[in-house]
Structure 1
Amino acid sequence: MGKLTKLAGAAGLVAGAAYLTKEENRRKVKKQIDEAIRVFNPDYKKELGKPADIDDAEMVSEGAMTSVQYYNQYQEDKSQQ
């Protein structure tokens, strides 16, 4: 089983290298990586009003307004700067 895993990994590495030889494919991959980094950035989530804290997210789904009020205050402070 170990040899098969190594062989599959090597084949994937070769296929990935072959795919990235084209400039267009490299740009596509870089764009997707940049987008993934931006989505998982906590500041990005705050700006969209999606609390990174699970407890806050659950409170909003239950109807609590604490997170909504926090977000509104954050937006007001941000617009005054």
Structure 2
Amino acid sequence: MREMFAGTQEEQGEDGSTVQCDYYVLIDQMEVGGSFVCESYGVGIAIPGGERTDLPNITTSAARIDELMELLIRNAVTPASLRDVVEDWL
């Protein structure tokens, strides 16, 4: 699996401290039908030196993963809430 850095977002935490999240597009190969392979895309969010959550194989559409990534960065989604946000988006 490869990953491509997509951006960084900083937000104020509940305790007033600044929380930085780094966002990644995950790129992998997915086998379909036994002999056909296509690229699949997922997302990852990491807090440097802390928590990280990866959700691989969300879609095979580059346009859709770009749309999702823009949503995640714009709304400063954290690793803890990533799964819920992606499930709602799907």
TM-score (norm 2): 0.20
Answer 1 or 2: higher relative contact order, Cα 8 Å, separation at least 6.
Answer: 2
The structure in which a higher percent of residues are helix is: 1
The structure in which a higher percent of residues are strand is: 2
Rg larger for: 1
TM-score (norm 1): 0.21
